[in-house]
Amino acid sequence: MTRAISLHDVSKSYTRGVRVVDRLSLDIEPGEFLVLLGPSGCGKSTVLRMIAGLEEIDEGELLLDGEWANDLLPADRRMAMVFQNFALYPSMTGRDNIGFPLRIESPGADPRPRVDATARMLGIEDLLDRFPAQLSGGERQRVAMGRAIARHPTAFLMDEPLSNLDAKLRNHLRAEISGLTRKLGVTTVYVTHDQAEAMSLGDRVAVLRGGVLQQVGAPRSVYALPRNVFVAAFIGTPRINLLRGVVRAPLDGAMTISLGKQYLRLPEPLCLDHQLLRVQQGREVIVGLRSEAVRIAKPASARPGEVHITGLVEHVEFQGHEVLVHFNTGSRPAVVPDLEAPRPAVRPARRRRREGGTVLDRLRERAGALRAGPVVTLDDPADAGPDPTPPEGRLPGDLIVRTTPDFELRHGMHVPLLVDLAHLFVFDQHGDRICPAPARLPDLEE
């Protein structure tokens, strides 16, 4: 049996009133594999522990199969947790570690048949008589997973189970976890800060920042349509190129996005997404370009929707099957100061909305609640000073392009580039995506 898990406006605070989880609402379907993704300290493990019953819920409610479960004891929730540090008893063999929870649940029953069946499923029959100190990291994690599987739980809760393993073993166990959970059909909530794990494992990915849910959806949709610049930058390897730009929309000329020394000319007739950028006339925005949205080619070979810029080669990363080229295009990178920090910068407190407030007041309040603070705030273009990123902390160049090893590029070469505007992201000064336009505009009555 598997179960549905629902969190409605759940909040959790620790010392000094800091909210580790802030009004989180999330519905997990029976049998679904959901990944909680975010930087270390953003509240992922706290959410998992509240679902397990290891942490109390300060506000909101937890529903298991539609029934209120805030005060339900952990043992009554029939969930199994797999920890980052394996949490095996050092004085017990693998067989005893797997069978220990079974002996606690049914003192008079013989746990050996279920232990043996679980060991066969995981291929660890030869590890049952060894102690944890005699096992490698991967073997310990398999025994820990066996202990969880043998209980026949209604949900698996996995708290970064592969973080302590080397890269090759992580990839191998990642495939094993995916196959096992789909074979068993058990609801799984998986916590990780590794976006490669999230994208390869999850049916859906929920991105957290500062305890606030930023976006939830299928891995493909979260990658293709990030809600804000934080989601766009956190998901994807190499990281998305984020450049500061200014929208120019003259009434008698073509619309462009200035990137400093160069500009992107938007093709005419303008598509609907590009038409909506007119309201940003004269404002500074953040331009996002994935590495695959730019290719090395001459202007004559441009396809419909591609525009030409040039780049100066500053660094070449040979990856074997591909090459990552760092270009200097004369643009200013957009800095997201708290991208890797667990919590966003503190916002000034919003004033209480007066009764009968305007529609604009309600929209501002709703947008602020969804963001939990601006992801990044750009300076006014007229007052913009030097780039605040220290030279030692900045990657070479301002644009990374993924290409094939066929190109022989050297430092200092001027190279023609074609930008595919169909894969152009534009974010406003607070980091919210404005192009492509959000699929759902806020309801004025909400």
Same-domain pairing of 281 and 399:
yes
Cα–Cα distance measured from residue 214 to residue 284, given in angstroms and rounded to the nearest whole number: 23
For residue 157, pLDDT over 70 is answered with yes
pLDDT tens for 249-290 read: 888 888 999 998 899 999 888 888 888 898 889 899 999 999
Q: H or E segment at 120? A: helix 112-122
Look at residue 446 and tell me if it is in a domain. Answer: no
For residue 314, pLDDT over 90 is answered with yes
Same-domain pairing of 71 and 167:
yes
Same-domain pairing of 220 and 233:
no
Q: Which of 172, 202, 224 finishes a domain?
A: 224
Which residue has better confidence, 341 or 232? 232
Look at residue 390 and tell me if it is in a domain. Answer: no
- Mean per-residue pLDDT, 353-378: 50
Instruction: Give the per-residue pLDDT at 61.
Output: 96
- Three-state DSSP class for residue 357: coil
- Mean per-residue pLDDT, 379-390: 42
Q: Where are the alpha helices (DSSP H) in 137-287?
A: 137-150, 167-184, 195-201, 219-224, 229-234, 272-275
Same-domain pairing of 84 and 161:
yes
Q: H or E segment at 437? A: none
Same-domain pairing of 210 and 283:
no
For residue 446, pLDDT over 80 is answered with no
Closest to 227 (Cα-Cα) out of 370, 95, 45: 370
- Mean per-residue pLDDT, 404-409: 88
Q: What percent of the chain has pLDDT over 70?
A: 85
Tally: H helices and E strands in the chain:
10, 22
Look at residue 280 and tell me if it is in a domain. Answer: yes
In this predicted structure, which of 119-123, 168-172, 243-247, 412-416 has the lowest mean pLDDT?
168-172
pLDDT tens for 115-139 read: 999 999 888 999 999 999 999 888 8
- Mean per-residue pLDDT, 49-76: 94
Please state, as a whole number, how many other Cβ atoms lie within 10 Å of the Cβ of residue 18: 13
pLDDT-derived band at 362 (thresholds 50, 70, 90) equals low
Mean pLDDT for the chain overall: 84
Look at residue 117 and tell me if it is in a domain. Answer: yes
pLDDT-derived band at 397 (thresholds 50, 70, 90) equals confident
Cα–Cα distance measured from residue 201 to residue 177, given in angstroms and rounded to the nearest whole number: 8
Instruction: Give the per-residue pLDDT at 298.
Output: 94
Q: H or E segment at 85? A: none
| Strand residue runs (E) in 65-220 | 67-68, 79-82, 155-159, 187-192, 204-209, 212-217
- Mean per-residue pLDDT, 172-187: 88
Same-domain pairing of 219 and 235:
no
Look at residue 389 and tell me if it is in a domain. Answer: no
For residue 369, pLDDT over 50 is answered with no
Instruction: Give the per-residue pLDDT at 250.
Output: 87
Which residue has better confidence, 379 or 417? 417
Same-domain pairing of 165 and 234:
no
For residue 6, pLDDT over 60 is answered with yes
pLDDT-derived band at 340 (thresholds 50, 70, 90) equals low
Closest to 346 (Cα-Cα) out of 357, 359, 337: 337
Please state, as a whole number, how many other Cβ atoms lie within 10 Å of the Cβ of residue 352: 8
Apex 36 CA angle, 31 and 42, nearest 5: 155
- Three-state DSSP class for residue 123: coil
For residue 295, pLDDT over 90 is answered with yes
For residue 388, pLDDT over 50 is answered with no
Instruction: Give the per-residue pLDDT at 386.
Output: 43
Pairing type for strands 284-289 and 424-427 reads antiparallel
User: Looking at residue 22, which CATH number applies to its domain?
Assistant: 3.40.50.300
- Mean per-residue pLDDT, 143-171: 87
Look at residue 335 and tell me if it is in a domain. Answer: yes
Q: Which of 194, 209, 224 finishes a domain?
A: 224
Instruction: Give the per-residue pLDDT at 91.
Output: 94
Same-domain pairing of 320 and 190:
no
Same-domain pairing of 284 and 213:
no
pLDDT-derived band at 167 (thresholds 50, 70, 90) equals confident
In this predicted structure, which of 160-164, 230-234, 265-269, 401-405 has the lowest mean pLDDT?
160-164
Cα–Cα distance measured from residue 191 to residue 60, given in angstroms and rounded to the nearest whole number: 21
Q: Which residues, other chains included, contact 84 with Cβ-Cβ below 8 Å and sequence gap of 6+?
A: 159, 160, 161, 163, 164
Q: Which domain holds residue 115?
A: 5-224
Look at residue 369 and tell me if it is in a domain. Answer: yes
- Mean per-residue pLDDT, 370-385: 46
- Any idea what DSSP says for residue 228? B
Closest to 369 (Cα-Cα) out of 107, 42, 24: 24
Look at residue 248 and tell me if it is in a domain. Answer: yes
Instruction: Give the per-residue pLDDT at 341.
Output: 54
- Mean per-residue pLDDT, 372-384: 47
Same-domain pairing of 255 and 200:
no
Residues 213 and 42: beta-carbon distance below 8 Å: no
Q: Side chain identity at 399, as an amino acid letter? A: L
Same-domain pairing of 203 and 311:
no
Same-domain pairing of 268 and 325:
yes
Residues 326 and 412: beta-carbon distance below 8 Å: no
For residue 392, pLDDT over 80 is answered with no
Q: Which of 169, 191, 224 finishes a domain?
A: 224
